[in-house]
Structure 1
Amino acid sequence: MSATVNTLRFAINLGNAVLAKTLPDGQPGGITVEIASRIAAEMDATRQLITYPTAGKVVEDAQNDAWDIAFLAIDPKREEVLRFTQPYIAIQGTVLVKAESGWQSVEQMDKEGVVINVGKGAAYDLYLTRQLQHATLNRLSSSQAAIDTFLKGEGDMAAGIRQPLERATAENPGYRVLPDNFGQINQAICVARMNSKLHEKIANMLTQWQQDGSLQKIIDRELSEQ
């Protein structure tokens, strides 16, 4: 069923802990939820939040009329079904390794026999799928599952977004995050490919908020609370 004229359905990817989270009361919160609230207010619409466990699930629903606006990493494969705005934040992709391992740089990742845990369909999964020629990707159900599975002893490393990986090291002695990054993941707002009018409205809003600094204030405030 399509959204009514004054309701906007926002897909919130809880698989990206930097941008979205579950609050103590069970409701979603974080950067993307704050942006969703601003978009709804600007368009004089009711905000409806639809949570997803992974980015891959959001993309799968893009052609099912399950949501109107989403927040995902820009990727060429996704652009086949989605229309992205300009980026509003860039996130670092790196890897979690055992503290005693010899890994010193992400440049050492791509070797025969190396198994890298990733969240299936995540932006860094898509990126590494294109870039790696020798290492093997072990695709798990989510980014958190990729980390948890590595902590249980499966795989040589876990790839993901820097902040959740560093959080894992703080909670699990014996692990460390490599100091460099294999890529910068640009996060943007997106709509279904055919919805060019909504895309134009959101892109214009985003440009205004980036120019006046109000969007950066939201990002800085939310990141300071993590």
Structure 2
Amino acid sequence: MKTIDQPTLSSFAPTGVLRVGINLGNPVLANEDPISKNLYGVTIDIANEIGKRISLPVQLIPFKSAGATVDAVKTREIDLVFVAIDPVRGADISYTPAYIQIEGAYMVKVSSPLKTNDEVDAAGNEIVVGKGSAYDLYLTREIKNAALLRAASSQTVIDDFMSGTGNVAAGVKQQLESDAKRYPGLRMLPGRFMVINQAIGIPKARANYESTSAYLSNVIAELKQSGFVADAMKRHNIQGAKVADQ
């Protein structure tokens, strides 16, 4: 097990507490108990394991979207985030290798003439996406003809869609499948439009961030190889995702 030296640790967690941004916009990663408000999920398990390894208390700070979590990195409110790897975010964030891969999918109403993913990027189509999400950033680069309509968060995409916004909803496949149970008359387009690689990110603004990133990358490799990530996914009943390739 690789250790972390004191200068790197002091830069990594300057307050003496590991402040971890938790993205509640993706149910594959984390969730909040509606009664107790306790956070649970794969990312919480990983965060606590990192805290144990570096002998620091962990403070879990929930956010409603990935975009809000990334903003908190830029303002130095948090020390570590669990977000999708994306080159735009990479300007400010240093990533570990991915620990989980998630599929991005499209959902339409049953009455829609759209049958395949390839048909979505056409003039006249309007795709509802969660603002600042990994698939928002991806589709912003890739979509050439359709329009993107941004919902406040990933959780509100289908609510906006069902209220009359757009004719295609885009998001994490598991989130869309869960939303389809709340609303009748929806169907998923087959396959996926992207694979979302989820990783740990730390702010590049910190001194010694390269050493911290190398340490965390080693931890992620160990957690994948040991079965820790797979066990966490099984424990939290995560479907529609897989442990990222070694």
TM-score normalised by the chain length of structure 2:
0.87
How big is each residue's C-alpha offset from its partner over 1:119-159, in whole Å with a ceiling of 9 and x where there is no partner? 11100000001001000000111011211100112110110
Deviation at 1:22, TM superposition (A): 0.7
> Is the contact made by 1:6 and 1:44 (CA closer than 8 Å) also made in structure 2?
no
Partners of 1:51 and 1:37 in 2: CA distance: 15
Deviation at 1:220, TM superposition (A): 2.2
> What amino acid maps onto 1:196 in structure 2?
E
**Aligned residue for 1:167?**
178
Partners of 2:186 and 2:195 in 1: CA distance: 22
Matched, 1:93 2:107: no
Q: 2:41 aligns with which of 30, 51, 62?
A: 30
Deviation at 1:196, TM superposition (A): 2.1
**Aligned residue for 2:162?**
151
> Is the contact made by 1:119 and 1:141 (CA closer than 8 Å) also made in structure 2?
yes
> What amino acid maps onto 2:166 in structure 1?
G
1:205-224 pair list within 5 angstroms: 205-224=219-238
> Is the contact made by 1:85 and 1:203 (CA closer than 8 Å) also made in structure 2?
yes
Runs of 4+ in 1 over 3 A off after TM superposition: 2-6
Matched, 1:177 2:177: no
How big is each residue's C-alpha offset from its partner over 1:95-125, in whole Å with a ceiling of 9 and x where there is no partner? 1110121211111110001100001110000
> What amino acid maps onto 1:218 in structure 2?
A
**Aligned residue for 1:12?**
22
> Is the contact made by 2:41 and 2:232 (CA closer than 8 Å) also made in structure 1?
no
Moved more, 170-179 or 181-190: 170-179
Name the SS for the 1:171 alignment partner. Answer: coil
> What amino acid maps onto 1:223 in structure 2?
N
Measured on the aligned residues, the alpha-carbon RMSD in Å equals: 1.7
> Is the contact made by 2:73 and 2:80 (CA closer than 8 Å) also made in structure 1?
no
Q: Which structure 2 segments of 5+ residues have no match?
A: 1-10, 241-246
**Aligned residue for 1:204?**
218
Deviation at 1:201, TM superposition (A): 1.5
> Is the contact made by 1:11 and 1:49 (CA closer than 8 Å) also made in structure 2?
yes
